[in-house]
Amino acid sequence: MELLAPGLAVWRNRPYGEVDDEFVLDLWRERYESDRQTKWTGNPNDGPVAGHEAAHGPLRCRNIPPNGGLVRGNKYDDFTFMLQEDLFACLSDYAYKYRTLPLDLGWQETHRLLYYYPGAQMGPHSDNTPSCFQDAHGAETTDPVAPSRILCTLQFLTTDEKDFIGGELYFPFLDVEYRPSKGDTLIYPANFLHTHGVQAVLDGIRITNLSCFCQGDFTKFAWADHGNGGGRDSDNNIPMQGGNIHIEHENLGDRLKFKWRSYANS
């Protein structure tokens, strides 16, 4: 673990970085088509665009299938399991440095892939600032999830200069600019001091896996009705509000071991 600034940590050359670029692009296509129920043509403008993706924001899709959860033996799901195992290993290091952190962690948001194409960028923002949107009935709703975020994590699946040019991540209040490389995992607090943005990608494709760790219990939130329903995927132990799941930890003395909670008896 290397600290770029207080709370801003990077782990380099993680095992998931060994997959080839063709697989990463196939993963994006598979997850995009599953999440949006439309064919991926390679042109970001061909499919549906969410409000936060307008004006050159990155495309996003869930990296856990919205219906059915993760299934062992599926090559794309196995890769997401690898990403999750890496996250828990890095989180264990991070929690050893910041010992009170586990007291604030109750659940994890679903994995999301971020697809930056030429021109895509993201302005300075904090990851725990709530946004407003309309529910399925047209009523304005405030996001209940963002204020609960404690940590955010990024896993870089493509490499700067080789796969894309530009796309640097910057933290203006920490005076840090970070150039991502394939196989890097980044963890940082989701607060205003760790406000960050992404410079425009000038050429190529930048693909990142995003997940956030939150406090509280997401099943107690007043979830917005998007017309898609909810419930729990009991077969794969992935509770559905879109793939979010509770986490637990075990104190092993010299480190903490994190895991997803089992719902077998709940």
pLDDT digits (tens, 9 = 90+) for 137-196: 677 777 788 889 999 999 999 987 788 899 999 999 999 999 999 999 999 999 999 999
Q: What is the pTM of this model?
A: 0.88
265 found inside a domain: no
DSSP states of 19-56 as a string? S-HHHHHHHHHHHHHHHHSS---S-TTSS---GGGTTT
Report strand pairing: 8-11 vs 2-5: antiparallel
For the cut 70, the answer to whether the pLDDT of residue 207 exceeds it is: yes
Report pLDDT for 145. 84
In a domain, 266, yes or no: no
Query: Does pLDDT of 81 surpass 90?
Result: yes
Provide the angle, in degrees to the nearest 10, between the axes of the packed helices 75-97 and 21-36: 100
Q: 179 in a domain, yes or no?
A: yes
Residue 242 is predicted with a pLDDT of 54
Mean pLDDT of the chain: 85
- Confidence at 51, pLDDT banded by 50, 70, 90: low
Answer yes or no: is 178 within a domain. Answer: yes
Q: Which residue has the higher pLDDT, 253 or 34?
A: 34
Distance CA 91, CA 84 (A): 10
Distance CA 152, CA 122 (A): 16
Residue 202 in domain: yes
- Judge whether 89 lies within some domain: yes
Which pLDDT value is given to residue 223? 54
For residue 144, being part of any structural domain is answered with: yes
pLDDT at 5 over 60: yes
The domain total for the chain is: 1
Domain assignment present for residue 229? The answer is yes
CATH number at residue 101: 2.60.120.620
pLDDT at 266: 35
Q: Report the largest interatomic distance among the alpha carbons of the chain, rounded to a whole angstrom.
A: 52
The range of the structural domain enclosing residue 205 comes to 2-260
